[in-house]
Amino acid sequence: MNAPAHPMLVVDGLCRDYEGGGVQALRDVSFTAEAGRSVALTGPSGCGKSTLLSLIGLLDRPTRGRILLGGVDLAQVRNAHAFRARRVGFVFQFHHMVPTMTLQENVEAPMIALGLGRAERRERAADMLAQVDLAARAHFLPTQVSGGERQRAAVARALVNQPAVLLADEPTGNLDSRNGQRVIELLLTQARERAALVLVATHNPEIAAALDTHIELRDGAVVRHEGPPAA
């Protein structure tokens, strides 16, 4: 199989400064990643993992450097909300499910930005919940299911728009090892079936070892890169 002409993600000389340049959250970070692959981002708290995911997900803008996602320079994106809805899925440590909405309604919500009709949203959400073994919990509220089930629902919500890139920030941090492993397996299986790129920020060495590429950050800089060469 021939390698793709262009990587799904290019991070080139990325820097993010705060407080007038007094705090440098990221320092000259560069790497590439292909569609259908998985990347572990590790390092101590405050090393820049979440900042990097926020920049890739267009929740923040870099001070210097550039990010290309599917060949698109993120600096040129004018409607970040629409771009995220179509290209990026998020899974967080704290699942951010809307507590007054059922699991199905939570999974349906991202499809509203795509302009899909209600019947199609329902069908796709139900199918996605079935794929993460939550069909029987579809009409439960988040407070009525376990932590592992809530996080699996968050995976379904992140994948329902078939994003090119899935960003997971400590997605197993509040789960026991069994449920944590299941969530990671779901992320990787579902994303690979869709040829999506997965980036996972984690403190868990076992999770990092299970992914294709391992990038370790310290004080905002890459100190270890195992996998495809940096950009």
Distance separating alpha carbons of residues 198 and 150, to the nearest angstrom: 20
Is 30:55 a contact under the CB 8 Å cutoff? no
- Please tell me the predicted confidence (pLDDT) of residue 142: 93
The bridge status of strand 72-73 relative to strand 221-226 is: unpaired
SS3 of the chain: helix, strand, coil, percent, to 5: 40, 25, 35
User: Residue ranges of the domains in the chain?
Assistant: 9-226
Q: Which CATH architecture has domain 9-226?
A: 3-Layer(aba) Sandwich (3.40)
Within the chain, what is the greatest distance between any pair of CA atoms? 51
Structure tokens at 147: 């932590």
Residue numbers of the chain with a pLDDT score lower than 50: 1-4, 229-231
Distance separating alpha carbons of residues 41 and 200, to the nearest angstrom: 6
Burial, 121: exposed, middle or buried (Cβ in 10 Å; 0-12, 13-18, 19+)?
A: buried
Residues 187-229: pLDDT tens digits? 888 678 888 899 999 988 888 888 999 999 999 999 988 875 4
